[in-house]
Amino acid sequence: MVRPTMEDVAARAGVSRALVSLVMNNSPKVSAARRAAVLRAAEELGYQPHVMARSLASRTSTVLGVMVNDLRNAFFADIVEELDTAAQVAGFDLVLNTGGRSPTREWNALHNLLSFRPAGIILLSPVVPASAIQVAAKQCPVVLVSRTIRSSIVDTVNDDGEAGSALAVDHLVGLGHRRIAHLDGGGAAGAAQRRRGFESAMRQHGLEPVVVRSEHTDIGGENAVRELLATYERRELPTGLVAGNDFNAVGAISALEEAGLRVPEDVSVVGYDNTSLAALRHLSLTTVDQPRKDMARLAFEALIERVRGERTEPVRHLLHPSLVVRATTAEFSQTGGAAR
Amino acid sequence: MVRPTMEDVAARAGVSRALVSLVMNNSPKVSAARRAAVLRAAEELGYQPHVMARSLASRTSTVLGVMVNDLRNAFFADIVEELDTAAQVAGFDLVLNTGGRSPTREWNALHNLLSFRPAGIILLSPVVPASAIQVAAKQCPVVLVSRTIRSSIVDTVNDDGEAGSALAVDHLVGLGHRRIAHLDGGGAAGAAQRRRGFESAMRQHGLEPVVVRSEHTDIGGENAVRELLATYERRELPTGLVAGNDFNAVGAISALEEAGLRVPEDVSVVGYDNTSLAALRHLSLTTVDQPRKDMARLAFEALIERVRGERTEPVRHLLHPSLVVRATTAEFSQTGGAAR
DNA sequence: TCTATTGATTAGAGCGCTCTAATCTTGTAG
DNA sequence: CTACAAGATTAGAGCGCTCTAATCAATAGA
């Protein structure tokens, strides 16, 4: 288990430790002969530089701290995957933490990341108070994804939840729907923006926004629809639903079908997030897609720019979502739709 | 961005660096007065030990390397989340890599992990050759999840895919089904075992196993069912389907319903993996559940045992999956099922 | 009063590397 | 043959910490 050090390689190659260091960092000022000798010695010994020692000595870090509040959320898992891909290319390593949606746990996690003296930190939808983020940002560059903050030293990357909801509303209105309801995600991340976007888009169309309190789960969607069914007469029922997210949409569809209403013939439903769920042909959910890849890329780039000191002005990316039209939305028909 | 060091804390507290070190590692041999003074100085300066420096000096590591072939796969994301939770409790930090299902990329990722001189490494369903794993295992303890290997220094944690399929078969047979087909996952991880388990379970019941080549996707499930429909007369069609995974099952259900067959009245379908998909009330898929939490826990424990040197014998955990019965399976009825 | 003994504190070497400055080689011009 | 610049190599300090061994202080025993 005891691994060779630079000293060992130097001895075997018959050169100094400093020369080995130069070779390992492929410095141009090493003669071809020595370089070959060192490389061979390293190969024979199975030598590999010690990242931490290197980091200590060079006062630089190749570590990027990543804290994700919940990795089970496919959205964040996707982002992490993209971040890692970019990091590998750029020669960085990810130290990853989960915050479990708990401020205190996140606070600890953040501390752990900082104790690595990382080059930078990316926080995915953190729930810690802004002050904690500000403290971290004084130690190294910090980029926030799916969270905003008023700070001149923190960059943020968000999708425009308001625009996303507006996209859904516009789509439904374009299909002739007038009575449209939003299933609100409550306190979930991004839910507030989605609701705001829904409301203002509806008003823009001169329509009255109907908002039902719900949750970002399928059960939440079911309950919300039941409430709708209990509140409105059949003929007054909204014919278009803008769900808080895809799970919510699926639940809504279940409850609608249970009540004898067909989707999309009687009611059109739009989800949000474009999860793998939505793409299933079985569901073919019309939904709003957040450009995760772009978000990850921009977050990574913003961080690296700061790390390299290429920029000091804060940057706030607000990405435009897009609508993926599938089979749960259709033209509004007075009569209640044609058969399939 | 320049952070205080132990020296700074020592100076402010009026003690030596060594004493600060003792306090930071809460050694019992420090007087209460000094401890308080040091702690206060540290607090005031916002001092935090430098993990890498500590690691270098102490010749120990709190880093656990984790390589996951695909984080987008919810199964692995769940495992990572669990691993991190355990790691945080035990005082370890995760350095995470993704392998992108590519042997060469995985090989690089593995090297990156090793360059941290981690305390141990956990590989989630790696595709690198066994020899590479063996090489890594000579440098630090290695635990494999969802992958087997013949090695005396590597621990493994797997779910018993054969048993899982058998569970599905037993369930269907118990419901009276006799013509049962398996939608094979092809080269996907674990697919071979699931098929073997299916075949032997069927034979055990004195039944002829029917295997249709498919994939672990919904499209794959649809195509497999279409093939089945094209091959068999209606009355000869399998009445039970054991899908390769949940996505596959959903696709199969789509194709069945498209062909006018009802699930579960005409055909019962069992998935595999118990993804969030299966739990949706809309689908309510009967499926096989892999005990992810247990798998993560056992993997972590196995690694820590090795790290602590408490065990040198390899351990091979084979976990028993369980069947989650939901609404896509029902008793076989000669007539083609009762109404709902 | 002096010496053990125990407990608290510190000096200083060293972990594996980088980096600056110094030294050693060449090659070339005078 | 000397001088010197350019290139190649190395010595050695130092990154922030730990850890062993040494030192120091205070109490107890004789």
Read off the pLDDT of residues B56-114 as tens digits, 9 standing for 90 and up. Answer: 999 999 999 999 999 998 999 999 999 999 999 999 999 999 999 999 999 999 999 99
Indicate yes or no: CB of B77 within 8 angstroms of CB of A78. Answer: no
Q: Report how far apart, in Å, the C-alpha atoms of B103 and of each of A181, B114, B118, B284 are.
A: 49, 16, 21, 36
pLDDT of residue B188: 86
Q: Is the pLDDT of residue B8 over 60?
A: yes
Q: Would the pLDDT of A340 be above 90?
A: no
C-alpha distances out from residue A173 to A169, A201, A328, B125, Å: 6, 10, 14, 47
Helix H or strand E encompassing B248: helix B246-258
- Judge if the beta carbon of A17 is closer than 7 A to nucleic acid strand C: yes
pLDDT of B149-199, one tens digit each? 999 999 999 999 999 999 999 999 999 999 999 999 998 888 999 999 999
Residues of B in contact with A277 (CB under 8 A): 276-277, 280
pLDDT digits (tens, 9 = 90+) for A49-75: 999 999 999 999 999 999 999 999 899
Work out the pLDDT band at B337, boundaries 50, 70, 90. very low
Residue B333 has a pLDDT of 80
Sheet arrangement for strand A322-324: A210-213, A180-184, A240-242, A268-272, A286-289, A322-324
How is residue A265 written in tokens? 């013939």
CB contact under 8 A, A56 and B51: no
Q: Which two tokens stand for residue A193?
A: 């923006």
Categorize the per-residue pLDDT at A335 as very low, low, confident or very high, splitting at 50, 70 and 90.
low
- Would you state the pLDDT for residue B338? 39
pLDDT band at B339 (very low <50, low <70, confident <90, very high): very low
Residues 27-86 (A) near nucleic chain C, CB < 7 A:
48-50, 53-54, 56-58, 60
Mean pLDDT of the region B135-139: 96
Whether the predicted pLDDT of B216 surpasses 80: yes
Average pLDDT over residues A187-211: 95
Largest CA distance in chain A: 89
Closest Cβ opposite residue A52 in set B52, B140, B250: B52
pLDDT confidence tier of residue A9, bands split at 50, 70 and 90:
very high
Residue A295 has pLDDT above 70, yes or no: yes
Q: Directed axis angle between helix A218-231 and helix A246-258, to 10°?
A: 50
pLDDT digits (tens, 9 = 90+) for A219-241: 999 999 999 999 999 999 999 99
Quick one: CA torsion of B272, B278, B284, B289, rounded to 10 degrees? Answer: 50
- At B57 the three-state DSSP class reads helix
Query: What's the mean pLDDT when you consider all of chain B?
Result: 94
Determine, for residues B115 and A51 on separate chains, whether the beta-carbon distance falls below 8 Å.
Answer: yes
A79 contacts B15 by C-beta, under 8 angstroms: no
In this predicted structure, the answer to whether residue A339 has a pLDDT above a threshold of 70 is no
A234: DSSP letter: G
pLDDT band (50, 70, 90) for residue B335: low
What counts of helices (H) and strands (E) characterise chain A?
13, 12
**Is residue B336 scored above 60 in pLDDT?**
no
For residue A28, pLDDT beyond 80: yes
The residue with tokens 């898929």 is: B285
Residue B282 has pLDDT above 90, yes or no: no
Q: How far apart are CA A178 and CA B319, in angstroms?
A: 54
**Are the beta carbons of A71 and B55 separated by less than 8 Å?**
no
**Yes or no, beta carbons of A74 and B72 under 8 Å apart:** yes
Enumerate residues near strand D (beta carbon within 7 A): A 15-19, 22, 28-31, 33-34, 53, 56-57, 59; B 5-7, 17-18, 21, 24-25, 49-50, 53-54, 56-58, 60
Query: Residue B124 corresponds to which tokens in the numbers above?
Result: 């989630």
Residues 273-302 of A with CB under 8 A from B: 276-277, 280-283
In strand D, the nucleotides that come within 7 Å of a protein beta carbon are 7-12, 14-21
| Choice among A89-103, A313-327, B29-43, B322-336 with the minimum mean pLDDT | B322-336
**pTM of the full structure:** 0.92
Helix (H, G, I), strand (E, B) or coil at B40: helix
CB B55 within 8 A of CB B117: yes
A159 in Cβ contact with A291 (< 8 Å): yes
Cα nearest neighbour of B105 on chain A: A88
d(CA B262, CA B245): 20
Q: Phi and psi for A91 in degrees, rounded to 5?
A: 85, 25
The first and second tokens of residue A273, run together, are: 């997030």
Q: Kindly tell me if the per-residue pLDDT of A336 is higher than 60.
A: no
Selected residues 110-149 of chain A with any CB under 8 Å from a CB in chain B? 111-112, 114-117, 138-140
Check B282 against A77: CB less than 8 A apart: no
